[in-house]
Amino acid sequence: MFVSRSSERAIERAGPSGEDTSRFPGSYYAASLGAAIAAPALGGDAITDFCVIGGGFTGLGAALALARRGRSVRLVEMGPIGWGASGRNGGQVHVGWQQDQPWFEQRLGTDRARALWQAALDARAHLDSLIALADDACDYRAGLIHADHKADHVAATHAHVAMMRETYGYDSLTPLSRDALRAMVGSPDYHGGSFDARGGHLHPLKLAQAMARAAQDAGAVLHAHTPCTGLEPARDGWRVKTPHGTITTGQVLDATGAYARALVPQSDAHVLPINNYIATTAPLDPALATSLIRNDAAVSDSRFVVYYFRMTPDHRLLFGGGESYGYRMPRDIAAFVRPHLARIFPQLADVPISHAWGGSLAISPNRLPFAIEPRPGLHAVNGFSGVGVVLAPWLGDAVGRAMAGEANNAYDLVRRLPSPRFPGGPWLRWPTQALAMRFMALRDRF
């Protein structure tokens, strides 16, 4: 990939969506972060054993794994560390994959399905270690409610709970009747669901910054405000181009998610960016906050365009709802999210909104992540499809260990997952998939 100098200057301050990369978006997370870590931009040409492109959970996990093994590693990020999806998502902790265990059993067989479930548990345990690494300063709270917005969904949810308990021994998952759910969530919209005690929610930007600090402490060199403008083969490795200099490296990892800019075309064909939107209310009266979510759990519902919400430590409702496709975002995100929020909590229809923001996440056709090495020394990981808070740090760690020459089952498991391409090629896959997803979203209304 080759980019002109004028394009490089444009890239330096704007992401693919035209967002300002010189600072964090105006999110609740950025406002409540405190001081961000120092990660000066690249100051000229450099040589390193490993280079990671992307300062989110995947890239930070890989850089931390490599640095802990005494390897020379540099990470470049187009904005501040954690600028992308890792630092602006809903912060929900989901145990598992975007496909359920019967899906894996039917397509991959029982043994691989069980191995993938164990991998999901390992990823959740890995997140616990990162929360501890952050000295529990990322606002973690336990508990995740799945809420069914249609009455005819509840039986399937309860059957899934029974299967996970009986077949996989996952006793953290319990069914919720309509009355039990409404005792937890003060909304008339839901008919039942389930509760996962190993799920939860956290402040994702604080977690990303804690991972970055740990990587620096282990010896990794992080460069914020240093977009990768191109990759090209070099003698004994790769050359990573930026507006501030070139990094020559033996191996490189593309961990840019929805902001990939086709750095690795073999990866780009497997993902599409979708935009999701979040708003936080002004601080609510504690009694009102408790009436909305009574056990401080996170909530995620059964819509195709998922609604997800939780309380912050200072009693704000953080609510995600609505999406768009491509890189275009609404001019007024607060106004875009408010009708969705009011649908679930009519009592908050006129509540002041303190922060509203959006971001792009990468989805794959089967909603599973993938890890590829299309050319020797060139790695790419992508496609977490909305469950990256748990899976991305774990898979980043696994890929980092693999790049260092350390065999590990996690990396092998993900490399063997089916990874179809989106149909339509580079020109038609966006409009055709956007049309399909809009059609699926219509089903939420009926």
Give pLDDT tens digits for 111-166.
999 999 999 999 999 999 999 998 889 999 999 999 999 999 999 999 999 999 99
Token pair recorded at residue 271: 């993902």
223 with 370, same domain: the answer is yes
194 with 214, same domain: the answer is no
- Strand 378-382 to strand 245-254: parallel, antiparallel, or no bridges (unpaired)? parallel
Residue-level pLDDT at 393: 99
- Spatial neighbors of 413 by CB under 8 A, at least 6 apart, are 112, 115, 116, 119
Q: Report which of 49, 353, 298, 302 is spatially closest to residue 160, judged by C-alpha positions.
A: 302
Does residue 94 lie in a domain region? Answer: no
Domain that holds residue 320: 141-200+273-363
295 with 330, same domain: the answer is yes
345 with 380, same domain: the answer is no
Residue 36 pLDDT level (bands cut at 50, 70, 90): very high
Q: Please, is 318 exposed, middle or buried when counting C-beta atoms within 10 Å of its C-beta (0-12, 13-18, 19+)? A: buried
Q: Is the pLDDT of residue 198 over 90?
A: yes
Return the CATH number at 71: 3.50.50.60
State CA 28 to chain mean position distance.
17
Running DSSP on this structure, what letter comes out for residue 36?
Answer: P
Token pair recorded at residue 241: 């181009």
Cα angle, residue 60 at apex, residues 54 and 66 outer, rounded to 5°: 115
348 with 372, same domain: the answer is no
Does residue 281 lie in a domain region? Answer: yes
Does residue 439 lie in a domain region? Answer: no
pTM: 0.93
Domain count, the chain: 2
Q: Could you say which of 363, 385, 403 is where a domain stops?
A: 363
Residue-level pLDDT at 13: 44
Q: Could you say which of 321, 337, 363 is where a domain stops?
A: 363
Q: Could you say which of 363, 389, 405 is where a domain stops?
A: 363
Count CB-CB contacts under 10 A for residue 87: 28
Residue whose tokens read 């409610």: 145
CA distances from 393 to 86, 129, 445 (A): 10, 11, 35
285 with 171, same domain: the answer is yes
Give pLDDT tens digits for 239-258.
999 999 999 999 999 999 98
345 with 413, same domain: the answer is no
State CA 184 to chain mean position distance.
26
